[in-house]
Structure 1
Amino acid sequence: MSIALKLQDDREILYARLKSQAIATPNHEWLACMVSSWCLGKSALPDYLGLEPLQFNGLISHYFPDCGIPEQAPSGIRQDFSRMLERDDLVNLLKHYSQPHAFESDCIISIIVAGCLGSDHLWQDLGLWSRSQLSAMLCCNFPELAGKNDKDMKWKKFLYKQLCEAEGLYLCRAPSCDVCSDYSKCYGPED
């Protein structure tokens, strides 16, 4: 059996174990998927999944008690938001479109923002298994924001485009996305 197949099998076994422990909320499947990938070093999420330590412990004890989830990222990725000057802007953007004062929502926001530090597609950086999972998670947690992505732009690019537009910045030189020579970089397939 190849190493890739073994890791896939391990991830699916851990995912099934985590999902069976999770409380049935709309986010439990995605959290189980992200945590199982993270535990096997298959995401760009840093220590504590990008959460504050107390937030991480609350999330794990609430959704995955007795599963022995580590605090440090098995991938060795450390939390370094110093290079992410837009961190607060991303948090504020997502909070604006989320349910106010919901612990689960705050956790999802922090995890997504931490995933934006990665260099791959957002769904891969989060440890989700497909772009459709990320789309479903964003539609569930931020329906109004997700609805703005009506042309199916890649999610990380879409979030940053929202930040730019909020500041009145338009960095693209093309008069519209439809005529841009880089169209496939923003809207092409991600798998």
Structure 2
Amino acid sequence: MTGSPSDLEQRVAACRDRLSSVPGGARSPDGWLFARLVAAREVRGERALLGLSPSELAGLAARHFATNALTVPSHESVALLDEKQAAFAAAMRDFLIGLAASETHAEDARCLATILAHACLRPDHLWRDLGLSGRDDVTQMLTRFFPEVVARNTQNLRWKKLLARELALSRGDVPGPAPGCPGCEDFGFCFPDRKHAN
């Protein structure tokens, strides 16, 4: 889609408000978060990049969005991943689900874990890949749903690097970049010993 950044931001905000049914807010903080995440992909025609199945997206919409605000086809296309990306996304999702805060809705945590795992496949800072406003938004989201992840970030690493590192360590693997990291502008900062891949 084309348009200026401010035009895109306006369309994302309008979509977010339509989903949440409350301009500038939502029925709950979790509803507001999911409306932001879905709207960021929806206005770009990139809903498949969320990684959610039609049933997961429909359940999320039923829990948080205004009635009929999001049409979910029964056979929605999903993001095409190669074998390595699919394995990483599945492992990251399962890793995050295992760290979900007990007070969060289990299906919400599962949906967010899926969205985060698929965002790690894209080549930018995690907050941009999620369509959020900045790193603080990611910190707040992780604190709510996966507080142990936040507690593990004692070196103030970038979130995508931290997630990839913690997943690798949990599997007994050598830590390395997430699949999307090599395309990021700060790849050399996060991984100075690796050559930047274009």
TM-score bracket, normalised by the shorter chain, equals: 0.7 to 0.9
CA contact (8 A) 2:19 2:69 kept: yes
Q: Per-residue deviation at 1:83?
A: 3.3
Query: What per-residue deviation string (whole Å, max 9, x for no partner) do you get for residues 34-89 of structure 1?
Result: 111111118xx6527211221111112322222134559xxx98342633122332
What amino acid sits opposite 1:40 in the alignment?
V
What amino acid sits opposite 2:6 in the alignment?
L
Residue 90 (1) aligns with residue 92 (2): yes
Note the aligned Cα RMSD (angstroms). Answer: 2.9
CA contact (8 A) 1:39 1:69 kept: no
Report % sequence identity. 25
Residue 112 (1) aligns with residue 116 (2): yes
1:71–1:137 CA distance, 2 compared to 1 (3 A) = farther
Runs (4+) off by over 6 Å:
none
Provide the secondary structure at the position in 2 that maps to 1:98.
coil
CA contact (8 A) 2:93 2:114 kept: yes
What is the alpha-carbon distance in structure 2 between the residues aligned to residue 17 and residue 46 of structure 1?
Answer: 16
Structure 1 residues without counterparts, runs of 5 or longer: 173-181, 187-191
Query: What per-residue deviation string (whole Å, max 9, x for no partner) do you get for residues 133-178 of structure 1?
Result: 1111001101122111122211111011112222333457xxxxxx
Query: What per-residue deviation string (whole Å, max 9, x for no partner) do you get for residues 90-141 of structure 1?
Result: 1221112114671111111111112112111111112222221111100110
What amino acid sits opposite 2:42 in the alignment?
C
What is the alpha-carbon distance in structure 2 between the residues aligned to residue 141 and residue 154 of structure 1?
Answer: 18
Partner of 1:175: none
Q: Per-residue deviation at 1:32?
A: 1.3
Residue 28 (1) aligns with residue 31 (2): yes
User: Which has the higher relative contact order, 1 or 2, with Cα contacts under 8 A spaced 6 or more apart?
Assistant: 1
1:93–1:77 CA distance, 2 compared to 1 (3 A) = closer
CA contact (8 A) 1:30 1:133 kept: no
**Residue number among 120, 127, 132 corresponding to 1:128 in the alignment:** 132
Provide the secondary structure at the position in 2 that maps to 1:80.
coil
CA contact (8 A) 1:98 1:141 kept: yes
- Residues paired across the two proteins, number: 171
Provide the secondary structure at the position in 2 that maps to 1:27.
helix
1:82–1:71 CA distance, 2 compared to 1 (3 A) = farther
CA contact (8 A) 2:41 2:131 kept: yes
CA contact (8 A) 2:169 2:175 kept: no
**Residue number among 134, 138, 141 corresponding to 1:137 in the alignment:** 141
Partner of 1:161: 165
Residue 16 (1) aligns with residue 17 (2): yes
The range that moved more, 117-126 or 85-94, is: 85-94
TM, length-normalised to structure 1: 0.75
What amino acid sits opposite 1:185 in the alignment?
C
What is the alpha-carbon distance in structure 1 between the residues aligned to residue 58 and residue 175 of structure 2?
Answer: 40
